[in-house]
Amino acid sequence: MRVISGSARGLKLKSPKGMDVRPTTDRVKESVFNIINNRLIDSFVLDIFSGTGSLGIEALSRGAQKCTFIDSSKESIKVIKENIEKARVNDKSEVILSDAISAINKLGVRRDKFDIIFMDPPYLKNLIEPVLEEISKKNILEEDGIIIVEHDTKDELLEEINNLYKYREKKYGNTTISFFALEE
């Protein structure tokens, strides 16, 4: 697993031991970043269920202003911090050890807003819709922001969740990427 483009291009990222973390494949990551590339410069990014921090670090490498990483695993948080250090993006990173819902609550209280939110939860655990609902309720997505959800193709996501709607979906084998935005 590596950083594909930008200031940290080619950097190999560390991954936690075991199968609890399933990093986004380079093929899927490259496709997602090709789709959102024009949105990255100076953006504020949230990487929920960060795992290795790969998506957030890629965004920072390509010009994002700041990334907040959230994961509930102490082992993953340790790896994320090491990868941030290796990529030399410490000054643009915030790392939060917390479950997704509690962290989103905290960000809502702080009135943080994000241009791009990545979600890559464990597959088939029914975590996506409750987290999208919380993002909507806490109003942490910028008006023209997007949420990118990586999930198992067997996970059928609703077309609308609160004031969020799915506007694009792309399948890569057993992985699907769904794009959500705020309704106008």
* Res 148: pLDDT: 98
DSSP string, 110-137: TT--EEEEEE-PPTTSS-HHHHHHHHHH
Give the CA count within 13 Å in the CB-facing half-sphere of 114. 28
Q: At residue 139, what is the residue type?
A: N
d(CA 89, CA 83): 9
Q: At residue 143, what is the residue type?
A: E
* Res 184: pLDDT: 77
Farthest CA pair distance, the chain: 43
CB distance 67 to 143 below 8 Å: no
Quote the strand ranges of the chain, DSSP E.
44-48, 66-71, 93-97, 114-119, 141-152, 160-161, 164-172, 175-182
In the chain, where the domains are located: 26-182
For 46-96, write each residue's pLDDT tens digit. 999 999 999 999 999 999 999 999 999 999 999 999 999 999 999 999 999
For 150-175, write each residue's pLDDT tens digit. 999 998 899 999 999 999 999 998 89
Across-strand partners of 96?
70
* Res 6: pLDDT: 76
Q: Which CATH class is domain 26-182?
A: alpha beta
Confidence of residue 21 (pLDDT cuts 50, 70, 90): low
For 85-142, write each residue's pLDDT tens digit. 999 999 999 999 999 999 999 999 999 999 999 999 988 888 999 999 999 999 999 9
Lowest mean pLDDT, pick from 3-12, 114-123, 140-149? 3-12
- The whole-model pTM stands at 0.93
Q: Cβ–Cβ contacts within 10 Å for residue 144, how many?
A: 10
Higher pLDDT, 107 or 1: 107
Average pLDDT over residues 4-17: 76
Looking at beta carbons, which pairs linking 34-38 to residues 24 or more positions away fall under 8 Å? 35/168, 35/170, 35/179, 36/116, 36/146, 36/148, 37/62
Is pLDDT above 50 for 19?
no
* Res 72: pLDDT: 95
Average pLDDT over residues 32-48: 95
CB distance 58 to 86 below 8 Å: no
